[in-house]
Amino acid sequence: MVIPSVLSMILLNSRAAGQRGSVIRMFLCSWGQVLKDVFRNPTTMGVGYRWFGRPLLRFQDSEKAHGRSLSLLGLASSNPLTRLALRVLYKPRVSLPVELFGHRYIHPFGLAAGMDKNAKALRGWEATGLSFVEIGGVTMLEQGGNPKPRMFRAPHAQALVNRMGFNNDGSEKIQLTLERHVKRHGRLGIPVWVNLGKSKITPLDEAHLDYGATLERLWSYGDVFVINVSSPNTPNLRELQDDEGLIRILRHCHEVNDEQALTLKRERKPLLVKVAPDMTEEQLVHIAKTAKNNGADGIVVSNTTVERPGDPHPRDASVFGQHGGMSGQPLKERSTSMIRTVRQAVGKDWPIIGVGGIANAQDAWEKIEAGATLIQAYSGFVFEGPSLTKQVVHGLSKRLRASQHASITDVVGTKSD
């Protein structure tokens, strides 16, 4: 974006026509080369974002930058031409099919919860080539979240710290948003997952009703529902990972799920549980087994952590001093090792969704080898831009071709011991 505008200014200001002709030739040649490189090599797609987008972002408040990017994506996806441009620029040109939860995913890489809480840019995410998108966290009641500022970038570590506190439009408004979307544009071409959170004012012993109400309102529009009992930014929410809370929520959500399926004469929807990284291996195995034994269809590993890196770069120190959940690169190893632990404990027939610190194809491959059938990212998009999808999927495809495996699903759990 910056290069074209600077070059157009040069073009408009060059006085002599001859000079203008040679500048035009230079302009076309240089852009021709850039586009050629970009289409040949997906990793160069991110260069523009890294060189120009990221430095520009640094001057903006993290949450405002996030809001502007989301609005821009929403706007771009509302027009067929710009949607086509998004597809041409960012959509992976390889397919790595995964069959899961009754759907065919074009590849294993989707958008993690929190990025598009209110489902504002659904067609944009689809156009950029993601294989599924998780909206939310949605809470039963609309809420503003914690006071700002509440989202911080640690650029050196490629990490984020946030204490958003489930700011979202609430289940009623989001139901209307999705209803309007389906009426105007039909259903999205990729599965839509819904992340279910708990409203702040709802007491813990009524949490199941809160999750159930959101599930009921959004049931028709979501393909998969994720019960989020692991955000560190809603007081005491993580206590719901304990047996009593988790079992009660699962039971109630199963009832709602069955009722909706019966009433609307459709298949019941998969219900997953998303867990926190801040626990011992024994606790993790216990929660995973409890979720599985109580009918959860899979697990999302993991949410953000309250831990911080031991020896942060001075530029990141103040960010790591902020209260909230950390995501991005420093979470990567922890979440990958949790995936391995869950896979060992519950076996290969219970799907694991891997999320935490994915910034390139290698990170994604490691999570799949550890046992993740599908993977997701949030922070990677903040630091790498929308080209991350192509980078990851093309990289996975290359790794797959170099391996002895026939399909990406054959790679799942090959290094889980």
Tell me: does residue 136 bind ligand FMN (CB under 6 A). Answer: yes
By beta-carbon proximity to ligand FMN, the closer residue of 214 and 327 is 327
Tell me: does residue 380 bind ligand FMN (CB under 6 A). Answer: yes
Residue of 181, 178, 154, 192 whose CA lies nearest to 62: 154
**Would you state the torsion angle of the CA atoms of residues 69, 75, 79, 81, taken in this order, to the nearest 10 degrees?**
-30
* Contact pattern from residue 158 through residue 177 relative to ligand FMN, giving x for each residue in contact according to CB under 6 A and a dash for the rest: --x-x-x-x-----------
Task: Say how far apart CA 91 and CA 146 lie, in whole Å.
Answer: 35
**Residues within window 22-61 making contact with ligand FMN, judged by CB under 6 A:** none
The DSSP call for residue 297 is -
Q: Give yes or no: 231 in active site.
A: yes
**Beta-sheet strand order (sheet of 151-154):** 151-154, 159-162, 325-328
Tell me which of 69, 195, 257, 336 binds ligand FMN, using CB under 6 A: 195
The DSSP call for residue 278 is -
Tell me: does residue 377 bind ligand FMN (CB under 6 A). Answer: yes
By beta-carbon proximity to ligand FMN, the closer residue of 208 and 332 is 332
Tell me which of 158, 234, 379, 391 binds ligand FMN, using CB under 6 A: 379
Tell me: does residue 271 bind ligand FMN (CB under 6 A). Answer: no
Listed ranges 19-27, 51-59, 111-119, 397-405: which one lies at the site for ligand FMN (CB under 6 A): 111-119
By beta-carbon proximity to ligand FMN, the closer residue of 160 and 250 is 160
* Cβ at position 164, least distance to ligand FMN in Å: 5
Tell me: does residue 327 bind ligand FMN (CB under 6 A). Answer: yes
By beta-carbon proximity to ligand FMN, the closer residue of 100 and 112 is 112
Task: Say how far apart CA 67 and CA 89 lie, in whole Å.
Answer: 22
Residues 6+ apart with CB under 8 A from 92: 42, 107, 129, 389, 390, 393, 394, 397
The residue from 62, 199, 230, 231 that is catalytic is 231
Write the burial class of residue 203 (CB in 10 Å: 0-12 exposed, 13-18 middle, 19+ buried): exposed
Count of chain residues binding ligand FMN (CB under 6 A) = 28
Tell me which of 118, 128, 202, 228 binds ligand FMN, using CB under 6 A: 228
* Cβ at position 65, least distance to ligand FMN in Å: 12
Cβ distance 212 to 153 under 8 Å? no
**Residues within window 344-363 making contact with ligand FMN, judged by CB under 6 A:** 355-358
Tell me which of 152, 225, 350, 378 binds ligand FMN, using CB under 6 A: 378
* Cβ at position 332, least distance to ligand FMN in Å: 7
Q: Provide long-range contacts, Cβ within 8 A and 24+ apart, for 320-326.
A: 320/154, 320/157, 320/159, 320/161, 322/152, 322/161, 322/163, 323/163, 324/150, 324/152, 324/161, 324/162, 324/163, 324/232, 324/233, 325/161, 325/162, 325/163, 325/231, 325/232, 325/233, 326/159, 326/160, 326/161
Tell me: does residue 304 bind ligand FMN (CB under 6 A). Answer: yes
* Contact pattern from residue 231 through residue 270 relative to ligand FMN, giving x for each residue in contact according to CB under 6 A and a dash for the rest: x---------------------------------------
* Cβ at position 312, least distance to ligand FMN in Å: 16
Task: Say how far apart CA 140 and CA 230 lie, in whole Å.
Answer: 17
Tell me: does residue 114 bind ligand FMN (CB under 6 A). Answer: yes
Task: Say how far apart CA 100 and CA 356 lie, in whole Å.
Answer: 21
Query: What is the residue type of 289?
Result: K
* Cβ at position 390, least distance to ligand FMN in Å: 17
Task: Say how far apart CA 414 and CA 328 lie, in whole Å.
Answer: 24
Strand pairing class (224-228; 151-154): unpaired
By beta-carbon proximity to ligand FMN, the closer residue of 96 and 111 is 111
The DSSP call for residue 364 is H
By beta-carbon proximity to ligand FMN, the closer residue of 38 and 376 is 376
Tell me: does residue 229 bind ligand FMN (CB under 6 A). Answer: no
Task: Say how far apart CA 393 and CA 92 lie, in whole Å.
Answer: 6
Tell me: does residue 303 bind ligand FMN (CB under 6 A). Answer: yes
Place of tokens 């988790």: 246
Question: Which positions are annotated as active-site residues?
Answer: 231
Applying CB under 6 A, the residues found at the interface with ligand FMN are 112-114, 136-137, 151, 160, 162, 164, 166, 195, 197, 228, 231, 274, 303-304, 327-328, 331, 355-358, 377-380
